[in-house]
């Protein structure tokens, strides 16, 4: 088996192992999707995505191709090799249970069956638990398909941009080491839509190839090139 | 009623500080010589898993920078501390802490063995013990550090918002464990290329 494709409905959670140089493409199946994603090194999950290190090394407050998502150990975990969008949020976290209930009203399996509204936090913690991980393993996540911009004012006022992504939008990640990916498709915590109606995504895992000397991720910034090199050393 | 001083310490450049401060304590951090980044983590003193979360803090206040009125929140959105006074104007919480590994990524292999904030965090956490581990070292606050964001999605490290004697004062909203690294970074303007001492004082009003 060299690849597969699965659908994750809106408001659900998923976890998957992505082997080195395989790609994961996420396709939006509706309006306003959001994928809150955590990433861990598969061989040692205490090594995990570090958003501040990722942003400062690449001088960016947003995630976009060909940026490399870096771990706290300086290794490239995954590279955003392509996307129909040039902005994915990584600075505003994910939705919490109390906030979801305040915003959308109480919900339970008994009342709503499998349409019950679960926050990203609840779903991520359940998924993490299956891998022996928990609250202390949480770190800043990426919110793929969502945009939150800081104003050029004195506070850096943050504004969520509604409708940033639509059906058909996509983003591809290439694993640079073996990783564990845990994700939630609950709405972005700052989503302005009146009702809970999160879009689903299709996840497509495929064979990819190692980044060559001319790979855009290696050459667009020296910092990204060095993170790739640190990842490659683990397999040297 | 006069202030009862709990502690008053000078933390040298590249040194760290760890300790508990009770609910209601006023914690003042003074940038004695100017342009000094103070990398800081807060924990609920009774539950280290309930720790400072940069992303939950900035989302809940709807703004990227920390200043007077900012409530520092945990990963569960509980209030840890409130900034009650700030003569600097703004502080960063998106730039993270420097580490030996991130220095290699940012500046090259020759910086691998330079001192870094995360090395100080490791040293102080080991010294503290009590179950504080690598998993608990998360995204911190950089007091006095200037990391401007732009509306077009840029982020840079810049010099220039702090000065000698500027301070920030926080009120503990619960019993806290505080972990500080007085940043030794030499490769960017966050310390004006010359790391210097800070003063850390705690009092109970």
pLDDT of B3 reads 59
Interface of B with A in 59-98 (CB under 8 A): 59, 62-65, 67, 75-77, 89-90, 94-97
Which is more confidently placed, A208 or B190?
Answer: A208
Confidence of residue B183 (pLDDT cuts 50, 70, 90): very high
Q: Tell whether A190 lies on the interface with B, counting CB pairs under 8 A.
A: yes
How many domains does chain B contain in total? 1
Confidence of residue B1 (pLDDT cuts 50, 70, 90): very low
For the ranges A66-80, B15-29, B189-203, which has the lowest average pLDDT? B189-203
- Nearest-Cα distance to chain A for B133, in Å, is 10
DSSP string, A5-64: EEEE-TT-EEEEEE-TT-EEEEEE-SSS--EEEEEEETT-TTSBB-HHHHHHHTTBSSB-
How far apart are the C-alpha atoms of B181 and B121, rounded to whole Å? 6
Chain B residues within 8 A of A92 when measuring between CB atoms: 55, 58-59
Parent domain of B29: 4-204
- Nearest-Cα distance to chain A for B117, in Å, is 13
pTM attached to this predicted model = 0.97
Model confidence at B39: pLDDT above 90: yes
- Taking only the tens place, the pLDDT of each residue in A29-54 is 999 999 999 999 999 999 999 999 99
Confidence of residue B160 (pLDDT cuts 50, 70, 90): low
* Strand order across the beta sheet in which A13-18 lies: A13-18, A179-184, A35-41, A142-144
Model confidence at B47: pLDDT above 90: yes
pLDDT of B159 reads 72
Nearest residue of chain B to residue A227 (CA atoms): B105
CB B35 within 8 A of CB B191: yes
How far apart are the C-alpha atoms of A79 and A70, rounded to whole Å? 9
pLDDT of A194 reads 87
Confidence of residue B173 (pLDDT cuts 50, 70, 90): very high
pLDDT of B5 reads 67
- Residue of B55, B104, B155 with shortest CB distance to A140: B55
- Nearest-Cα distance to chain B for A118, in Å, is 15
- Nearest-Cα distance to chain A for B8, in Å, is 31
Is this complex scored with an ipTM above 0.95? yes
- Report CB contact under 8 Å: A135, B65: no
pLDDT of B190 reads 82
- Taking only the tens place, the pLDDT of each residue in B106-123 is 999 999 999 999 999 999
Q: Tell whether B47 lies on the interface with A, counting CB pairs under 8 A.
A: no
Average pLDDT, chain B: 95
Q: Tell whether A60 lies on the interface with B, counting CB pairs under 8 A.
A: yes
Q: Tell whether A154 lies on the interface with B, counting CB pairs under 8 A.
A: yes
Ranges under pLDDT 70 in chain A: none
- Report CB contact under 8 Å: B105, A51: no
Cα A17-A188-A106 angle, rounded to 5 deg? 105
Q: Tell whether B110 lies on the interface with A, counting CB pairs under 8 A.
A: no
Instruction: Name the percent of chain B lying above pLDDT 70.
Output: 97
Q: Tell whether B199 lies on the interface with A, counting CB pairs under 8 A.
A: no
Domain range annotation of chain A: 4-233
């Amino acid at each position: 088996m060299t690849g597969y494709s699965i659908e994750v409905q809106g408001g659900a959670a998923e976890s998957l192992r992505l082997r080195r140089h395989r790609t994961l493409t996420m396709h939006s199946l509706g309006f306003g999707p959001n994928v809150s994603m955590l990433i861990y090194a598969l061989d040692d999950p205490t090594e995990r995505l570090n958003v501040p290190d990722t942003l400062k090394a690449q001088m960016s407050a947003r995630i976009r191709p060909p940026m490399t998502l870096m771990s706290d150990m300086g290794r490239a975990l995954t590279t955003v090799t392509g996307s129909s969008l040039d902005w994915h949020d990584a600075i505003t976290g994910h939705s919490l249970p109390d906030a979801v209930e305040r915003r959308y009203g109480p919900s339970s399996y008994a009342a709503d069956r499998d349409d019950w509204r679960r926050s990203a936090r609840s779903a991520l913690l359940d998924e993490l638990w299956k891998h022996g991980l928990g609250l202390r393993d949480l770190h800043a996540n990426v919110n793929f398909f969502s945009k939150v911009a800081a104003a050029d004012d004195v506070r850096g006022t943050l504004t969520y941009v509604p409708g940033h992504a639509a059906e058909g939008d996509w983003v591809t990640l290439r694993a640079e080491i073996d990783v564990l990916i845990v994700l939630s498709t609950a709405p972005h915590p700052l989503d302005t839509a009146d009702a809970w109606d999160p879009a689903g995504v299709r996840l497509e895992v495929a064979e990819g190839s190692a980044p060559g000397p001319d790979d855009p991720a290696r050459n667009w910034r020296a910092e990204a090139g060095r993170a790739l090199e640190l990842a490659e050393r683990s397999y040297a | 009623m006069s202030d009862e001083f709990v502690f008053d310490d000078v933390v040298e450049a590249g040194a760290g500080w760890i300790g508990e401060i009770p609910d209601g304590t006023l914690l003042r951090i003074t940038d004695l010589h100017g342009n000094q980044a103070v990398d800081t983590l807060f924990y609920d003193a009774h539950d280290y898993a309930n720790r400072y979360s940069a992303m939950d803090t900035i989302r809940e206040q709807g703004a990227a920078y920390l200043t007077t009125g900012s409530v520092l929140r945990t990963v569960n959105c509980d209030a840890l501390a409130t900034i009650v006074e700030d003569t600097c104007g703004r502080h960063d919480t998106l730039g993270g802490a420097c580490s030996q590994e991130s220095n290699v990524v940012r500046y090259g292999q020759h910086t691998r063995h330079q001192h870094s904030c995360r090395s100080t965090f490791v040293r102080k956490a080991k010294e503290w013990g009590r179950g504080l581990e690598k998993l608990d070292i998360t995204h911190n606050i950089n007091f006095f550090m200037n990391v401007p964001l732009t509306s077009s999605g840029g982020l840079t490290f810049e010099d220039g918002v702090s000065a000698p004697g500027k301070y920030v004062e926080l009120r503990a909203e619960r019993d806290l464990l505080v972990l500080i690294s007085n940043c030794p970074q030499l490769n960017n303007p966050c310390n004006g290329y010359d790391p210097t001492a800070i003063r850390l004082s705690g009092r109970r009003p």
